[in-house]
Amino acid sequence: MWTIKNDTPYVADRTIVVDKHGAKHYVVVVKGTFDIRADGTTKTADEQVPVCVAPEYTGDDGVSSLRYEQDLLPPKPRTDVYVNGLAHAPGGRPTTRMTVGLGTPTGTKSIVVHGDRRWERDLVGGITPTPPLPFATMPIVYERAWGGYDQGDPDPKQHKLDPRNTVGTGVFIRPANRIGKLLPNLEPMSGGAETPIGFGALCSFWKPRTDYQGTYDAAWFEKRKPLLPVDYDAQWLQCAPPDQQFGPHLRGGEPFALSGMTPSGMLRFELPKHYFAFTTHIGSKRQEHRAQINTVVIEPELSRVIVLWHSMLSCHRDIDDIDMTVVVEKPYV
């Protein structure tokens, strides 16, 4: 039951999801990993990244930034694009400040990157930042952006966090708690220093994602559990920063450019163009369905891009009769 016959060089997997009305849906995904060549073209990578069945973090689960969101999910309203990468000083010469950018079909997003700065006492007893230290590379992760969670008080009621980025730096209960701590390395080009910024995926329990998760109150517990709340919104599934979400969904062929995130300084490529057809056998019936691009992950350190195509088939009453899905690639149209 639920067998996948995958006639492509990519990875495929499947699962069952239940919507907020209790209806069951059959989800099939194809995940392709592509090497980015120096000329900006892409080719199928020898090593294909497996389907991610649970969130993967950069450090300890739940208390570090998100490296990969899980892949086996309901369809997203838009295509997510996020980047796992480093800032590279121009020409490999250490610098104290630089700008990195992500060029997309709708414009360019830029981030200012500073060398390490710490809060220290000055000669008159105030608190001031140290001069930035030179760096050759700097991780572009939310730990180095504005945010944080200060638990440095015995009274939990006094704890302070930024719900947009609980792993960042800059949020403190009182000024003295800053001493010796890092200032943010990553800042937006505009919009204020106290703004979390990054190119990576956002955790499911951070804002703005939590704005769409729905209300889990006493009424939900008594009347709906284990179904999703009635005010659940599928935008909760979007894990990329809002300015890195694209609707309608990307189709392939869209241009991307990353500046300051490779030793050469610039990485340009076009999203791979692929078209997949799915045929699911349900008892004596055959149901054809198609896919859309749910997620794109760009990893400039590895010169690769990962693309997740997603297809969902509504088959509530027939869910137990699903035998097999055949996945084939057809000419891109």
Asked if residue 29 lies in contact with residue 70, where contact means CB atoms within 8 angstroms, the answer is no
State the sign of the Cα–Cα–Cα–Cα dihedral 281, 285, 286, 291. Answer: negative
pLDDT at position 1: 67
Q: Residue ranges per domain, the chain?
A: 3-85+199-330, 111-197
Total Cβ atoms within 10 A of residue 232 = 18
Who's near 122: CB < 8 A, 6+ residues apart? 128
Q: What is the DSSP letter of 242?
A: G
Calculate the alpha carbon distances from 226 to 19, 205, 221 in Å.
Answer: 11, 19, 8
Asked if residue 332 lies in contact with residue 252, where contact means CB atoms within 8 angstroms, the answer is yes
Who's near 109: CB < 8 A, 6+ residues apart? 101, 102, 199, 243, 244
pLDDT at position 22: 93
pLDDT at position 242: 97
Q: What is the pLDDT along the chain (333 residues), one digit of tens a residue?
A: 689 999 999 999 999 999 999 999 999 999 999 999 999 999 999 999 999 999 999 999 999 999 999 999 999 999 999 999 999 999 999 999 999 999 999 999 999 999 999 999 988 878 999 999 999 999 999 999 999 999 988 999 999 999 999 999 999 999 999 999 999 999 998 877 899 999 999 999 999 999 999 999 999 999 999 999 999 999 999 999 999 999 999 999 999 999 999 999 999 999 999 999 999 999 888 999 999 999 999 999 999 999 999 999 998 788 889 999 999 999 887
Q: Which two tokens stand for residue 30?
A: 């194809």
